[in-house]
Amino acid sequence: MIAVAIDGPAGAGKSTIARQAAKAMGFIYVDTGALYRAIGLYALQNGVDLSCERNVDQMLSDIKITLSFVNEEQRVLLCGRDVSMDIRTPEVSMAASNVSALPKVRAFLFDLQQEMAHTHNVVMDGRDIGTVVLPHAQLKIFLTASPEERAKRRYEELLQKGAQVSFEDVLKDLKERDYQDSHREIAPLKPAQDAVLVDTTACTLQQSIDRIIDLIKERLS
């Protein structure tokens, strides 16, 4: 099996780039952030106190997460319900970041992620794919861009969806999530030692996609 790991901070364009690269290569695109988001959504909807270990244990024994693919698009099922849309709100982003700092949550999702890579050729994106989940991936990419550029992209995306947000709030949220994701004790966001660093600050989306596809083809040839 072939695995391409793409890690990086929120808003670097990972999901769009990874999706297109997977399509070009005929691989499956696995968005691991969606798994943390599904758990974040569950915690929000059920008012789970994340500081209480027993509550977290109970939550994880009640949760069932399944990934399915419809026309090559990943769908996330939480206890049998498709939550692929519900997990895309700013509240769920922060809840996902909160649950992702819990070792038990990371352990819970580890097997599911590895199993996907054992059974399919994948482009998998996240925060710890190259460092923890798929340390033997044939190619590891750390994708980034300046915080301002990432916030600008996220802001424009939200405006297009009709959301009422200010650029300052988007930038603040993004910096807060960057800090939280990079400073947690377990599996913090950082490039794997053998990752190729790709900074997309000055690139168009298409340039970034082309660069990643070139890197994959180069590595596999």
Three-state SS annotation for 119-161: HCCEEEEECCHHHHHCCCCCEEEEEECCHHHHHHHHHHHHHHC
Shortest approach of ligand DC to residue 112 CB, angstroms?
A: 11
With 0-12 CB in 10 A as exposed, 13-18 as middle and 19+ as buried, what is 214?
Answer: exposed
* Sole binder of ligand DC in the list 20, 74, 84, 97 (CB under 6 A): 97
Q: Which residue has the tokens 């000055």?
A: 202
CA distance 167 to 156: 9
**Is 56 or 96 the residue whose CB approaches ligand DC more closely?**
96
For residues 150 to 189, the per-residue mask of contacts with ligand DC, x marking binding by CB under 6 A and - elsewhere, is ---------------------------x---x--------
Q: How far apart, in whole angstroms, are the C-alpha atoms of residue 97 and residue 59?
A: 16
**37 sits near ligand DC (criterion: CB under 6 A):** yes
Q: Of the listed pieces 18-26, 32-40, 57-65, 159-167, which binds ligand DC according to CB under 6 A?
A: 32-40
Select from 22, 38, 83, 127 the one that contacts ligand DC (CB under 6 A): 127
Rounded-to-integer distance, Cα 45 and Cα 82, Å: 15
Footprint of ligand DC on this chain (CB under 6 A)?
10, 32-33, 36-37, 93, 96-97, 100, 126-129, 177, 181
